[in-house]
């Protein structure tokens, strides 16, 4: 296939699904593979906006480490994928640019916030896409689009060149239809990077193909999920038993505190990260310079931040304020430790904790716009806990509802144990 054919095909596909914020380039027959990356990863040659108008026009002069490593392995970056503004969302509907459409039903969401990446992984042949998860943004869209998605242990992959949402939570992962691609490219992007002090060299990412022998299913995780998801999940449990895996229902009461704690911690970190967008360094810089700094800063941010970004600045500033910090931020940190502890307890007897990924299949856009912010946040109650714990996790497609919409399940393993997730994905496929 010539460059032109492939580019025009991408253009055609993008005009239907809207997965790319920016795409293009040239590639030849000796290009080993094509990949895309979420638009909050800096990349040479593409506009990088993280889904925000405030960064419109920003063309980074460097590649994020994960992108540089994919390129060094023979990959060609073909596009930057649409996402919720700065990762703030579950449906990619908070993008300031195009909202990607679900390949199974164009009236529905791809999930978020790495929605464009899931869409690209689902629609393009042999494709792998870099996504980012702060609180579920790889597994959620993977489950809505019927792809595999893996998020490694916090620190496994360098965050250098990632536009921060919540630094203590952000992790770069991969999405693909073919789980072998996760095993192939996770080692490529992993490893210590002197440019990111939170990245780790040890322990090594060893692919030993260790099989899981037992999984814990928290009873709390099957409460309040839709009948279709529950049916597919229970069928999957039977299939796992047939594969020789013990399935045990367990109590993990701490899980229910994870979602509120996450939204306190994530918005606290986000509100400080967003302070750098002051109209003087990145993207738009076209405010009225006759104004004083405070007025300039306010008018600029009022114009270019979307509603959800503003909501999170308010929430996160409030929870960090003197007098409220102990009541909210410090308490949320305690819950975070409790969640880690709850997982560690299960990992003494089980290889993984298994839940449905999302409580329902991808909703229609009209239903998303009718959701309140809290209803929206509640949708994340199963994807947030492993992100709070920094543990690796995987979405495996596990069925469809009556309308043919995909359903996913989420495996969570102990820190640094990506091997069993990758082995499970390959076995399951
Ligand atoms: N839906 C979650 C949020 O809005 C998670 C997003 C993410 O992982 N970037 O914060």
Sequence spans of domains, the chain: 1-429
Locate the ligand 1 atom nearest the alpha carbon of residue 133 and give its number.
8
SS3 (DSSP) at 87: helix
Q: What is the pLDDT of residue 429?
A: 93
Q: How far is the C-alpha of 44 from the C-alpha of 117, rounded, in Å?
A: 18
CA within 13 Å, CB half, 106:
7
Q: What is the pLDDT of residue 1?
A: 44
Please confirm, yes or no, whether 113 is among the known catalytic residues. yes
Locate the ligand 1 atom nearest the alpha carbon of residue 90 and give its number.
1
Residue 311 backbone dihedrals phi, psi, to 5 degrees: -60, -40
The per-residue pLDDT string of the chain (429 residues; one tens digit each, 9 = 90 and over) reads 456 668 899 999 999 999 999 999 888 878 899 999 999 999 999 999 999 999 999 999 999 999 999 999 999 999 999 999 999 999 999 999 999 999 999 999 999 999 999 999 999 999 999 999 999 999 999 999 999 999 999 999 999 999 999 999 999 999 999 999 999 999 999 999 999 999 998 888 989 999 999 999 999 999 999 999 999 999 999 999 999 999 999 999 999 999 999 999 999 999 999 999 988 877 777 777 888 888 988 888 999 999 999 999 999 999 999 888 889 999 999 999 999 999 999 999 999 999 999 999 999 999 999 999 999 999 999 999 999 999 999 999 999 999 999 999 999 999 999 999 999 999 999
Q: Residue whose CA is closest, atom 5 of ligand 1?
A: 135
CB of 361 closer than 8 Å to CB of 401: yes
Residue 171 backbone dihedrals phi, psi, to 5 degrees: -140, 140
- Would you give the DSSP letter of residue 144? H
Evaluated on CA atoms 305, 310, 313, 317, the torsion sign reads positive
CATH of the structural domain 1-429, one choice from 3.50.50.60, 3.20.20.150, 3.90.1300.10, 3.30.470.20: 3.90.1300.10
Pocket flag, ligand 1, residue 50 (CB < 6 Å): no
Please confirm, yes or no, whether 143 is among the known catalytic residues. no
Closest CA to 91 of 111, 108, 107: 111
Contacts of 399 (CB under 8 A, 6+ apart): 231, 232, 233, 235, 236, 406, 407
Please confirm, yes or no, whether 171 is among the known catalytic residues. no
Evaluated on CA atoms 154, 157, 159, 164, the torsion sign reads negative
Q: Active site residue: 137, 143, 158, 199, which one?
A: 137
Locate the ligand 1 atom nearest the alpha carbon of residue 84 and give its number.
9
Pocket flag, ligand 1, residue 92 (CB < 6 Å): no
Locate the ligand 1 atom nearest the alpha carbon of residue 88 and give its number.
4
Q: What was the ipTM of the complex prediction? A: 0.98
Pocket flag, ligand 1, residue 173 (CB < 6 Å): no
Give, in order, the Cα–Cα distances in Å from 148 to each of 74, 181, 232, 323, 373.
22, 10, 16, 44, 27
Pocket flag, ligand 1, residue 377 (CB < 6 Å): no
Give, in order, the Cα–Cα distances in Å from 202 to each of 125, 193, 362, 389, 415.
34, 12, 37, 18, 11
Closest CA to 400 of 240, 175, 232, 179: 232
SS3 (DSSP) at 364: strand
Is the whole-model pTM more than 0.95? yes
Q: Where are the beta strands (DSSP E) in 1-100?
A: 20-23, 33-38, 75-81
CB of 205 closer than 8 Å to CB of 199: no
Torsion angle of C-alpha atoms 243, 347, 222, 177, degrees rounded to 10: -60
Q: How far is the CA of 170 from the centre of ligand 1 (A)?
A: 10
Q: How far is the C-alpha of 52 from the C-alpha of 365, rounded, in Å?
A: 20
């Amino acid at each position: 296939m010539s460059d032109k054919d492939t580019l025009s095909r991408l253009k055609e596909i993008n005009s239907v699904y809207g997965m790319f914020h920016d795409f293009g380039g040239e590639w030849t027959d000796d290009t080993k593979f094509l990949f895309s990356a979420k638009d909050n990863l800096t990349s040479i040659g593409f506009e990088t906006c993280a889904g925000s108008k405030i960064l419109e026009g920003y063309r980074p002069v460097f590649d994020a480490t994960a992108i540089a490593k994919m390129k060094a392995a023979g990959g060609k970056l073909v596009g930057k994928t649409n996402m919720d503004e700065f990762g703030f969302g579950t449906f990619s509907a908070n993008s300031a640019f195009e909202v990607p459409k679900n390949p199974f039903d164009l009236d529905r969401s791809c999930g978020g916030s790495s929605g464009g990446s899931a869409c690209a992984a689902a629609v393009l042949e042999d494709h792998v896409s870099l996504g980012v998860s702060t609180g579920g943004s790889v597994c959620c869209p993977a489950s809505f689009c019927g792809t595999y998605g893996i998020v490694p242990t916090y620190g496994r992959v360098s965050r250098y060149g990632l536009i921060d949402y919540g630094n203590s939570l952000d992790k770069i992962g991969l999405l693909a239809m073919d789980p072998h691609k996760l095993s192939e490219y996770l080692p490529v992007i992993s490893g210590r990077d002197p440019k990111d002090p939170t990245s780790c060299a040890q322990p090594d990412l060893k692919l030993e193909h260790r099989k899981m022998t037992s999984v814990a299913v928290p009873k709390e995780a099957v409460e309040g999920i839709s009948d279709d998801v529950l049916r597919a999940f229970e069928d999957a449990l039977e299939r796992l038993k047939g594969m020789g895996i013990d399935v045990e229902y367990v109590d993990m009461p701490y899980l229910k505190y994870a979602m509120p704690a996450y939204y306190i911690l994530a918005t606290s970190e986000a509100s400080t990260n967003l302070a750098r967008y002051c109209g003087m360094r990145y993207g738009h810089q076209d405010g009225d310079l006759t104004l004083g700094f405070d007025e300039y800063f306010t008018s600029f941010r009022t114009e270019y931040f979307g509603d959800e970004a503003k909501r999170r600045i308010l929430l996160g500033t409030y929870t960090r304020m003197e007098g409220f910090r102990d009541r909210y931020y410090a308490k949320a940190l305690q819950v975070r430790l409790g969640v880690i502890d709850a997982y560690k307890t299960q990992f003494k007897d089980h290889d993984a904790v298994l839940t449905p990924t999302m409580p329902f299949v991808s909703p229609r856009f009209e239903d998303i716009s009718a959701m309140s912010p809290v209803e929206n946040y509640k949708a994340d109650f199963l994807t947030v806990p492993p992100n709070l714990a920094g543990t690796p996790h995987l979405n495996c497609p596990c069925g469809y509802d009556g309308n043919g919409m995909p359903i996913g399940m989420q495996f969570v393993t102990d820190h640094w144990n990506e091997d069993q997730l990758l082995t499970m994905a390959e076995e399951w496929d």
